[in-house]
Structure 1
Amino acid sequence: MEQEEEANPRKRKEAPNSALATELVEPRSDVQDREPQAKKARLSTILFADNCEVTHRQLCELLKYAILGKSAVPKPSWCQLSHQKQLNNVVVFILKGMSQLHFYKFYLEFRFLRKTFRHKFSLPPPTSSFLFDIIGLQKKKSTRGFPRTVEGPLISATLKSSIDLQNDPIIQKYGYKNVGLTRCLLTKEEMKTFHFPLPGSPNCESFILSKYSGFITDSSPLFGLDCEVCLTSMGKELTRISLVAEGGHCLMDELVKPDLKILDYLTSFSGITKEILNPVTTKLKDVQKLLRELLPPDAVLVGHCLDLDLRVLKMIHPYVIDTSLLYIGKQGRRFKLAFLAKVILGKDIQCPDKLGHDGLEDARTALELVQYFLKYGPKKIAEFNLEALEANQEQGNKEGATHMSVLKCLDSMGQKLLFLTQDVDELSSYRNCQTIKCSSNKEVLEQARVEVPLFPFNIVEFSFQPFPPLFAEEMKNSMKTKWTQMSTVYAGPFSEDCNVGALKKPYFSIQYEVLEAAQLAIETMNGILLEGSCIRVHRLVTELTLECDTLIRGLEQDSENQGTIYVAGIGETFKEHVLEQSNLFPDLEAVILPKEVKSRKQKNYCFLKFKTVNSAQVALEILKGKDWKLKGRNALTPRHLQAWLKDIHPDPTMPMGLRIVPPLLERHIFRTLKANHPKIIAWRWSRRIEKLYHSLSPGTFCVILMPGTKNTFGSHPGLGMMKIKEEEESDTPGMRV
């Protein structure tokens, strides 16, 4: 058997009508966080609800998270994607016209899909806009910006009514009237409080003093300053300095190479890489010298969190205006420079699609903010109600991220989506979607091999003729019969004196709730001696169960069942027994305890999920050896399959355990109605997707979607599968793939 990467569901509160899953070990993602060398993108599903259904909106949540990560969009509520930044690209395969019914009807033919894709889930029947649903285009985008007048953004009546000018910290410090430049300077006491470098300050012995004169007026010149840094063994050190004069004229924009080895370039903030800094010869002392020459004695330095800039410059200058303190909020709250730029100046800076910050842009912005403050005065600033605006913006960003489409996510990164299809071109009107129209599924496949590696996000759509409505209903009924027969065993013969229940029969049938129970009965009870008679336990051989043994072996090798065992005969205290002796099961990840829907009473069986196949087998032997009167075997039915079978089961009120019924008469079974052709299609396309999958680069997040079908005769739910392709994958037993 092959062994898949294991899902590691997070501990969470039990939802209504759910199976209780008890987390016994810390999430694997945390373990990976402590092992930097093992950092790879990891996927783990949290699917314990009875229906195990993932909505189209939830699927869209995951796809957006795979693109942008937690810094920009909320984490998916139903699964865990760790180390998202390690993903190389995303490929979504849509098998249009196929449903969950197709997958389990031709389960053996879909060998590659069932053995490779560890994470499977049900999808609701498709809407008429399935493609739009899964990429979020059916949602109306929430636009919460800051409309701007000549003097700044408009403030809504609601926000204006909540303004308390008298208690605003800016009004309390500066009053209502306009102030001059000297009034905005930080005092010596404030500079001490906010850790600005000063003569005699700790750790400032080697700092250089600027040529300040001591004579400052409201007409003294302003200079915007911004510094970018890296990390060395000594902490943060200067890698870039930007200095602008009033009017935004650039006086200095220099790269600086630290003397010590750089441990982290902090590229996401600074935009500086090893390649950029390699040829640089400018040192800190060169910048200090140039800065002393450029700044006049009465220069006023302006910046945002300016204390940090002066410390990496290792310079002391007493005349400073810090915009993070000039536009101060209640209880000393500091607003981000990008927020102030948007609200006060109506300009966007530090855009997410840019690599790092633009030092000149940040320096100019800080300078403009001071000039705005001096021009319009404290009262105007207080009327912005900055704290309410920030709270409003954060809520808008959160809601906007929830309703943002996949295309919008890609657009924010300056990327495009590739859409390969042979059907109607649904996405051609969107500017950041590259659509390639193909004449056949074969051409879609050929184009995918060439184009997919070139795009960060791909949708590859194959179109298949769905089952005709009447034929689909017959297949569904056939599946009902097949799984019922597979879950039913016949035992006998019994002697005439044997009284089982209220009936005296030489044979009786037992219908179990789960397939594992029926298979366990055959494996453990067939051939036992009862009152001198050798009892046989087996299934009824019908046209539908002829391939039952092959199907059972296929289910055992399904990647979703790897490392999971079924245990029967448990009591109310079984979970406590396992927890008390958890040292016997070190690789146990979760205990899944199904409950009755109405009574919420715990059933007498459970599923134990382990990290590896070997750990599951060892645990199974231990449990059998214990004096707990337990029986068990490898799991056969994934959670979403159990839910689907329950939905199509002919007798949902069937009690737990066995049921005594008269022998079933031989009945005519539905014929497969020329099912050979769909079987060949399923086998062929499983092979083709396998080849395409192996051509993908490691770190590719691969999603297979069978959307389901819907027509006037009824609807059939879809099926989703997903996996992150790793560096090396093997079919060798015991190897993680």
Structure 2
Amino acid sequence: MEPASCYGMKRKESMSTTSQENTKKLKTEPNGSGLVECERPQPSPRISVQFGCVQEPMTLMDLTELLQFAALGRVFGLEKPSWCRLSHQRRLKGVNVVVVDGLTQSDFYKHYVTFRHLRANYSTRLSFTPVSTNLASGIFTCEVPELDTLPGKSSQESSHPYQAVAWHPVTRKFGTKTRGLTAYTLTEEEMIKKRFPVKGLPGFEGFACTGGAERVTDSSPLYGLDCEMCLTVKGYELTRVSLVGSDGRCLLDDLVKPQNPILNYLTSFSGITAAMLRPITTTLREVQAKIIELLPPDAVLVGHSLENDLVALKLIHPHVIDTSLLYRKEFGQKFRLKVLADIILQRQIQSDERIGHDPTEDAVAALELAQYFIKTGPQQVLERHLEELWGICLTVANEDADSASTPTQLPHSNRFADVLRRCGQSVAYLGKRADVSLALANQQWHSSDREVLWSFKRKTTCPSFSVLQFSSFSDHLNSSSFHQEQHHHMVCTRLREMCIVFAGSFPAGYSERDVRRLFRRCGAVRRIRMLNATLRLHAEIEFKLLEGAELAVQTLNGLNVHGHCIKVQRPCHESMLDLTVTIEALQDDPLNSHLLYVVAQRPGDDHTFATTNGHTPDITAIKATNGLQPGLVGSSMPELCAVNGTTGAKTTTTSGQFHHTDSSGTSEDELREVFGRFGAVKRIILPAKPSGRRARHAYIKFETSESVHVALGSSQVLWKQKYLVCRSLTPPHLRSWAPHSTAPSGCEGESVMHDSQETTERVVRKLDHRLGKLFRCLPDSTLSVVVLPGQISSNTHQPGLCFMEVKPASSMKTF
């Protein structure tokens, strides 16, 4: 019986909820040996990027390669993308792409703290190479490689327009060939998963068993079953049961007296009234005995959402066919029995003119639906009813009630959008008008992000493949007083200033070379500008990485250089006031959680400290910066001092340089040996193109984040071994911060940008909130991709950013 929409959820919760949850995990062996595990958790799809591709910018071709494989897989012979790994692609429920117009990689990191949902929901992040064409159009119109023929079909048949059945959930489950009824009976594992009563499972001890045969054949008889229930003080109980034979003849139609007092007869759904049950004395046990007597050993019971009927009957039968699982939909949704009977059987049941359902009529309808499916075969069922039942078809059908267009024949091209439609997948585009030749039913134009999100959320089913365009940020830039290129130029300048420190005063005659030699021990230095206009000698030092500037402030501030106590500080202006908040957020970034930043000190650095600084760096300051407890420091000291087979604290490498892969490999080996004491080292990450012949800094990637905490707690020991460490702040896909910005701060238009900063922050906050709401409403196991397309201008190219994540399973209600 199909549960009524208004009370079906309550009924499911009341029917032995605890025991039915246990049935997912346990079953009893036939020999009665006890409970054993019957179902292993299914691995979920996930996406990851190969390490060698992390710092390589992603192109539109790379993106379409991933999207095509995610949506089509190997059914048509598509190969896995070479630059990333998408595991368990067949378990994906859909693909959703969001294009955020106007945003660049620099914009994201400028407003990094504000993009709370965007950085928290996505564990994979890559730079994106901007394109001059419309990105949504490029996704839909890209060519799919030559498709293989469909399984079990000749090359002539494979070009038939009914290719739409190839990727349908029905054919993915049952194939395309016509088979006997045994191909559609539920296995014991499927029955446990769908919460059918199964013999020996906890919660079903008092259920009667029909004593069915161990196996059935394709010639076994089918019996239709349907029940009606009422609500009692003990939950839902049986009030009427109907059983029909293979010929549709009614074998049993009895009213049943519930054992417990009735709270609600549910007359509008069951048709049962108090007057009807008043003279009834038939009990549940009597009805069970009648059904067991009527059913032969090899009988196959047929029903719609049959598990509810069997639980109400307290009856166990091992061979069942559920029509709600034959006529499948995506994401576990089910057709109502009334809808299937109307479209497939051309019959009106559960009429609004009649009070309640007729269980005999429903049992016959379920029986005939199963017989039709078995006789016709999955492929023919889809070809005949694909448009009117599933809404995806040989012709473009209206997917939304408010859209109206004339159906047109699907083209036979290898465009991605056309291939998706021919494979039976629903395709949708929502956003501003784009140069994509989709049918109007699949393409909806909206003027605001709010309308796009609202329209997508109100769809009754989530499209298999969808592209959404958010344009609020681009609209904001276009409406602002300053030019878009000027805006991005100033944003990059702000990011560059995050890596700048001011230092001084230095002794007279202190050269730029001396300053570089002093500050390079904290990380790679990009540029040094000596400030001679001041009363005393100062310098502006720009690091390539944010970690270098952070270490410089914490370790070199207050050092004595030839009698001058130098002060190292950040630029003092409004944009730097929230830098501490940004740094804390970067430390908590999932991309940085397993990474440790390391700078090796050269032998000459010791001499420099001895002669110019007068003392070693303040390790206490480093500990405070890393947020560590004093008790952690020195906990691993005895072990860490024994490196390379010696016991002294000075027995580590003194090269101060990290080799790329050379014949000896000594530097990387020493790094693994030193830092391997804190935990398993997964990888040593060296700069792609270090300045000079060898790099002085590197990233240590541990297997767990706990190893990073332990290493930071031993920073004093590591300094004795000539290593300076701090938390990673730079995401792995970035080689440096704002590499394209070379203009000085304070450029023309600064006041205009200052005036619009508050408005920009508000637009970004709303945008991030909508991206978070969209991610939450996606079905579980959906591949979600967010693309910040970047910008191409006459002077420079601003790279974009691509976020990728497969939404994990959750209890949140989706489409």
Shift of 1:557: 3.1
Q: Deviations over 1:547-568 (max 9, x none)?
A: 3333323332333223222111
| Equivalent-residue separation in structure 2 for 1:143 and 1:724 (angstroms) | 26
Q: Deviations over 1:262-309 (max 9, x none)?
A: 6799xxxxxxx999xx999787797899xxxxxxxxxxxxxxxxxxxx
The one-letter code sitting in structure 1 at the alignment partner of 2:713 is E
- Secondary structure of residue in 2 paired with 1:255: helix
- Secondary structure of residue in 2 paired with 1:39: coil
- Secondary structure of residue in 1 paired with 2:41: helix
- Secondary structure of residue in 2 paired with 1:574: helix
Structure 2 CA distance for partners of 1:610 and 1:409, relative to 1, 3 Å: farther
Say whether the 8 Å CA contact 2:182–2:218 is kept in structure 1: no
| Equivalent-residue separation in structure 1 for 2:432 and 2:745 (angstroms) | 49
The one-letter code sitting in structure 1 at the alignment partner of 2:419 is K
**For residue 707 of structure 2, what is the aligned residue in structure 1?**
615
The one-letter code sitting in structure 2 at the alignment partner of 1:708 is G
| Equivalent-residue separation in structure 2 for 1:508 and 1:87 (angstroms) | 55
Structure 2 CA distance for partners of 1:119 and 1:665, relative to 1, 3 Å: closer
Q: Deviations over 1:148-203 (max 9, x none)?
A: xxx998xxxxxxxxxxxxxxxxxxxxxxxxxxxxxxxxxxxxxxxxxxxxxxxxxx
Q: Deviations over 1:80-106 (max 9, x none)?
A: 122223333222112123333432343
**For residue 594 of structure 1, what is the aligned residue in structure 2?**
687
The one-letter code sitting in structure 2 at the alignment partner of 1:670 is E
1:418 maps to 2:428: yes
Shift of 1:446: 0.9
**For residue 118 of structure 1, what is the aligned residue in structure 2?**
123
1:683 pairs with 744, 765, 769, which one?
A: 765
- Secondary structure of residue in 2 paired with 1:584: coil
| Equivalent-residue separation in structure 2 for 1:649 and 1:144 (angstroms) | 51
Shift of 1:723: 1.8
Shift of 1:616: 1.9
**For residue 106 of structure 1, what is the aligned residue in structure 2?**
111
1:476 maps to 2:569: no
**For residue 334 of structure 1, what is the aligned residue in structure 2?**
none
Structure 2 CA distance for partners of 1:680 and 1:82, relative to 1, 3 Å: same
| Equivalent-residue separation in structure 2 for 1:455 and 1:665 (angstroms) | 47
Say whether the 8 Å CA contact 2:93–2:781 is kept in structure 1: yes
**For residue 454 of structure 1, what is the aligned residue in structure 2?**
462
1:443 pairs with 446, 451, 468, which one?
A: 451
Taking only the aligned residue pairs, the percentage that are identical comes to 24
Q: Deviations over 1:381-437 (max 9, x none)?
A: xxxxxxxxxxxxxxxxxxxxx97625524632x22112222424734339xx72333
The one-letter code sitting in structure 2 at the alignment partner of 1:560 is L
| Equivalent-residue separation in structure 1 for 2:711 and 2:414 (angstroms) | 45
| Equivalent-residue separation in structure 1 for 2:130 and 2:707 (angstroms) | 37
Structure 2 CA distance for partners of 1:131 and 1:47, relative to 1, 3 Å: farther
**For residue 328 of structure 1, what is the aligned residue in structure 2?**
none
2:47 pairs with 29, 43, 61, which one?
A: 43
| Equivalent-residue separation in structure 1 for 2:772 and 2:63 (angstroms) | 23
The one-letter code sitting in structure 2 at the alignment partner of 1:435 is Q
**For residue 236 of structure 1, what is the aligned residue in structure 2?**
none
TM-score, L = length of structure 1:
0.54
**For residue 725 of structure 2, what is the aligned residue in structure 1?**
632
| Equivalent-residue separation in structure 2 for 1:667 and 1:470 (angstroms) | 12
Say whether the 8 Å CA contact 1:51–1:643 is kept in structure 2: no
Say whether the 8 Å CA contact 2:127–2:802 is kept in structure 1: yes
TM-score, L = length of structure 2:
0.49
| Higher RCO, Cα 8 Å, sep 6+ | 1
**For residue 670 of structure 1, what is the aligned residue in structure 2?**
750
**For residue 94 of structure 1, what is the aligned residue in structure 2?**
99
Structure 2 CA distance for partners of 1:257 and 1:712, relative to 1, 3 Å: closer
**For residue 593 of structure 2, what is the aligned residue in structure 1?**
562
The one-letter code sitting in structure 1 at the alignment partner of 2:751 is R
| Equivalent-residue separation in structure 2 for 1:286 and 1:114 (angstroms) | 55
The one-letter code sitting in structure 1 at the alignment partner of 2:672 is L
Say whether the 8 Å CA contact 1:563–1:616 is kept in structure 2: yes
The number of residues matched between the two structures is 472
1:725 maps to 2:736: no
Shift of 1:69: 3.4
Say whether the 8 Å CA contact 1:115–1:557 is kept in structure 2: no
Structure 2 CA distance for partners of 1:463 and 1:254, relative to 1, 3 Å: closer
Once structures 1 and 2 are overlaid, which stretch shifts more, 37-46 or 498-507?
A: 498-507
Say whether the 8 Å CA contact 1:494–1:507 is kept in structure 2: yes
Shift of 1:593: 0.6
- Secondary structure of residue in 2 paired with 1:692: helix
**Structure 1: gaps of 5 or more residues:** 1-34, 154-238, 243-249, 266-272, 290-352, 363-401, 651-663, 731-737
1:255 pairs with 167, 174, 182, which one?
A: 182
1:81 maps to 2:86: yes
Structure 2 CA distance for partners of 1:85 and 1:274, relative to 1, 3 Å: farther
1:709 maps to 2:791: yes
- Secondary structure of residue in 1 paired with 2:808: coil
Say whether the 8 Å CA contact 2:137–2:435 is kept in structure 1: no
| Equivalent-residue separation in structure 2 for 1:552 and 1:485 (angstroms) | 14
- Secondary structure of residue in 1 paired with 2:419: helix
2:416 pairs with 398, 405, 421, which one?
A: 405
- Secondary structure of residue in 2 paired with 1:103: helix
Q: Deviations over 1:497-546 (max 9, x none)?
A: 97885799643333322111111111122233455554321123134434
Q: Deviations over 1:665-722 (max 9, x none)?
A: 9998933533232221111111122223223333232211122234556543322112
Say whether the 8 Å CA contact 1:50–1:643 is kept in structure 2: no
1:52 maps to 2:65: no
CA RMSD of aligned residues (A): 4.9
**For residue 203 of structure 1, what is the aligned residue in structure 2?**
none
- Secondary structure of residue in 2 paired with 1:603: coil
- Secondary structure of residue in 2 paired with 1:537: strand
**Structure 2: gaps of 5 or more residues:** 1-38, 157-173, 198-208, 221-329, 331-372, 378-412, 516-531, 601-655, 660-665
**For residue 552 of structure 1, what is the aligned residue in structure 2?**
583
**For residue 779 of structure 2, what is the aligned residue in structure 1?**
697
Shift of 1:141: 6.0
- Secondary structure of residue in 1 paired with 2:711: helix
- Secondary structure of residue in 1 paired with 2:456: helix
Structure 2 CA distance for partners of 1:92 and 1:518, relative to 1, 3 Å: same
Shift of 1:471: 2.3
